[in-house]
Structures are given as structure tokens and as C-alpha cells.
Chain A
């Protein structure tokens, strides 16, 4: 039992890292799309991105189980095609964390991308750069503070995910018991010391994240308008 004290901490870091690896590029792509393009379904995409923020975690978890569960459409394809089972697995915990991290990631990165004057991107195009080259050589270098803040906040949201994680990945000691899940279990068992330990660790991580995000937040260092 003692040796497994550190397991939820390491698992949470791994799950949040995996979630960020997955949702980071997707979130940034959506933020770029929403910041720079005016297209027919833009409002709908905006609403869909915000959904995990507005819906109760139990609803997000339920939807994920329906879609990615063993009888869900994508769940079956993943299990039969790739041998990946998300239910009751750390990968499932990472997926749930990724989904709930998406809104904060997109909504933090988008304004910093919008703050890059599009005239700079236009000039870069006339100098021979393809649109994806413009992203890497103009947009991201100028929006890096906001993008980094988005990734940091997304990581914090991912590591703190509880409800959807519990429904999709469950609470299997030594396999899917991330810190938030472990806190709930310890609380129910009346093990205040164990709950307190993880509460402390999660709180410390959150304080660091909020401080870092504050340092990166809106500030001079942006491109002049």
C-alpha cells in the first residue's frame, strides 16, 4: 500500500501529459481556424468547443462511454482494429481529460492569435510562404505567450479532471486511480491523510500553473497594431 502512494501522482502526470499531446495540436488548429477564417459553420464549431465547459462532467463521461465504450461505434473500431481499449484504461482517462481541456485551450489561445496583425501574415504569403509556413514562422512566434498559457492551463484542467474520467476509466487501483479519483475514494473511506496528500499536490500544481499563466498573460511583447 505504501509503495502505491506515489502511483496516483505519476499516473495523473502521465495522463495529463498524454491528454495534452493529443488535444494540444487539435486545440491550436481549432484556435487558428476560429481566429482567422470566416466560414459558414464557425458559430457551430464555437458552440461545440465550449460544450465540455458547460455540460456536467457526468454528461461528458456518459457521451464518451456511449461513443468509445466496448459497444460504442468508435470503441469497437479502436478495439478490433488497433487493439486499443479505452474503457477502464489510462488511455480512457487521457481521452476524458483531453475533452474537458479543449475549451480552455482554444479560448485561451484564440485571442492571442487574433492579436497578431493579419497584415503580417499577408505579407508573408506574398514573400512566398504557404499558409502552414506562415503559421510556424509568423503567427505562432508572435502568439507564443498566449499559446503557452493555453497549454499550461489545458494541462491543469486535464490533471484535475474527475467526473468524466471516473465514468470512462473507472477507479482501478494501480491502473486508473488518478489523483482526483483517489481523493474521492479516500474521502469515502474516511482516509483523511491520503485525501489530504493528493489535495495538497493538486493544489500546488494549480498554484504554479496559475502563476505561470499569469506571467504569460496579456501583456506587452505583442506585435504593434
Chain B
């Protein structure tokens, strides 16, 4: 591994037009591990995530992945999303409703591997507990299963970074624990850096190595764990308040 940090972000993104327009400013660095974007909804966390993926064009700034510039306003660099190799799991999972579970997971693979899933795909299905569901329609899945499929679909394409938007917030407690464990193991096994969006302090504490606090109308900055999560924040070791 090179000495460059996994992810360096220094962005200003403007969304909307006219009176409805608002700007998000964010600057942070992730050496390795999981970076948590923490704050209330409407503060620009998802916008920042989409800008890292290349789905929104920032008004200025830069995004660097392991030292490589994916976006650099000064130098006119803007790598399209399909060439960034950044996995994206949006809040509603956005599973492809016209495909079954396997079809979703192999979606980003070359045609040959889509036709006949190889050992890597089978191992991934196994890892995420999806083997028995491979032929299932995605609209028949539970919330936790949907999250696993979305995670598998992103991981199968072998991303260099994973973006997760509120991955656990819609789940019940049991699913939250089991998906949370799968997610942590999946990231650790691949040494895959990730950016996780959440408004939940417990979730933030359980996953985060680096914390960025978002507040409406304020630039988002890296802050120490205690400051971001607040004094009432949960214990970093046990996850309990």
C-alpha cells in the first residue's frame, strides 16, 4: 500500500437552482478504515456521498482516492462514475426490480461472468448469506436481505471504496446487529475503506474511525469522536451510552 490516504475530500457542492439552491462544503481525510458522515438529515451528507461517487459535479475542490485525483476542479479532472470503481449503496438500496438476487449481485460484472457466476461470486453470496436466495425476486425480500443484496452488488464489482447511505437505519434491531456484523467483516476482510452516512450516534460509534460532523449551513469538518458524538455519545468500546 502506498503512503497516500485512502480518501481526501475538499469539496463545495451546490444543488438545486435559484431560491432553492443550497451549498455544501466538506473537507476531510480518511487514512484508512471507515469515515462517518454524521449529522441531521438535510445537512448535505448524501450530497457529499454522491459527489464522491461522481454522480454530482462539485462547484469546486477535489476528490482523491489513494492519491489518484478523481475530481480536481483546478486541473479540470472529472473521472466519470463508471470509471471510479466506487461502490454505492443508497439509502433505499435501489435494487434492480427486473432482476433476481443473483442478477443484482452480478450486475457490474462482464457479460461472461453474468451468464455463469464464477467461484468469487458464489463465495460472496455465501459470505453474505444470500446463497439460498439467489433466485428470489427482490421485491419479496426483507429489509435486511435487501441491504445484503445491495452490499453484495457493490462488493462483486471489486470497488476501491464503499459508500454507504444509512445502511442500518431502516432495519429492526436484530437485522441491524447481523447486517452490521456482516458489513464490518466484509470491509475488514478486504481492507476496503468506506464512507458511511448516518444520523444515529450508536451506528456512528460502532463503525467510525474518522468522524465528520455535518450541520446545516456550516462547512463539514473532521472532529474528534467525542466532539462529533457529543458528551452523551455512546461508549466507543461497548457502543452503549
Residues of chain A having any CB pair with chain B under 8 Å: 117, 119-120, 122-130, 137-138, 141-142, 223-224
Q: Is B81 an interface residue (CB 8 A)?
A: yes
B143 shortest CB reach to chain A, Å: 13
Given A126-B55, A224-B139: A117 touches B94 (CB 8 Å cut-off): yes
Chain B residues positioned under 8 Å from A119 (CB to CB): 90, 92, 94
Chain A residues positioned under 8 Å from B55 (CB to CB): 122, 125-126
B20 shortest CB reach to chain A, Å: 13
Chain A residues positioned under 8 Å from B80 (CB to CB): 125, 130
Pull 19 A–B residue pairs with CB atoms less than 8 Å apart, ordered by A. A119-B90, A119-B94, A120-B96, A122-B53, A124-B107, A125-B55, A125-B81, A126-B55, A126-B87, A126-B154, A127-B82, A127-B87, A128-B82, A128-B157, A129-B82, A130-B80, A130-B82, A223-B97, A224-B97
Apart from A126-B53, A128-B83, A128-B157, what are 4 other A-B pairs with CB-CB below 8 Å? A117-B94, A126-B54, A127-B108, A224-B139
Q: Residue B108 contacts which of A117, A120, A129 (CB distance < 8 angstroms)?
A: A129
Q: Is B86 an interface residue (CB 8 A)?
A: yes
Chain B residues positioned under 8 Å from A129 (CB to CB): 82, 108
Complex CA–CA separation, A203 to B90 (angstroms) = 49
Complex CA–CA separation, A130 to B54 (angstroms) = 13
Q: Judge whether B94 and A125 touch: CB under 8 Å.
A: no
Q: Residue B94 contacts which of A123, A130, A141 (CB distance < 8 angstroms)?
A: A123
Q: Is B225 an interface residue (CB 8 A)?
A: no
A118 shortest CB reach to chain B, Å: 9
Residues of chain B having any CB pair with chain A under 8 Å: 50, 53-55, 80-88, 90, 92, 94, 96-98, 107-108, 139, 153-154, 157
Chain B residues positioned under 8 Å from A224 (CB to CB): 97, 139
Q: Which of A128, A129, A224 has the most CB of B within 10 A?
A: A128
What residue in chain A is nearest B157 (Cβ atoms)? A127
Q: Which of B55, B81, B92, B157 has the most CB of A within 10 A?
A: B81
Q: Which of A122, A137, A138 has the most CB of B within 10 A?
A: A122
Complex CA–CA separation, A124 to B108 (angstroms) = 7
Chain A residues positioned under 8 Å from B84 (CB to CB): 126
Q: Judge whether A138 and B96 touch: CB under 8 Å.
A: yes
What residue in chain A is nearest B138 (Cβ atoms)? A224
Q: Which of A117, A119, A141, A142 has the most CB of B within 10 A?
A: A119
What residue in chain B is nearest A222 (Cβ atoms)? B97
Q: Judge whether A128 and B85 touch: CB under 8 Å.
A: yes
What residue in chain B is nearest A127 (Cβ atoms)? B108
Task: Identify the 9 closest CB pairs spanning chains A and B, nearest first.
Answer: A127-B108, A125-B81, A126-B88, A119-B94, A223-B97, A123-B94, A141-B98, A128-B82, A122-B55
What residue in chain B is nearest A142 (Cβ atoms)? B98
Complex CA–CA separation, A128 to B53 (angstroms) = 11
B113 shortest CB reach to chain A, Å: 12
Chain A residues positioned under 8 Å from B154 (CB to CB): 126-127
Complex CA–CA separation, A190 to B54 (angstroms) = 68
What residue in chain A is nearest B80 (Cβ atoms)? A125
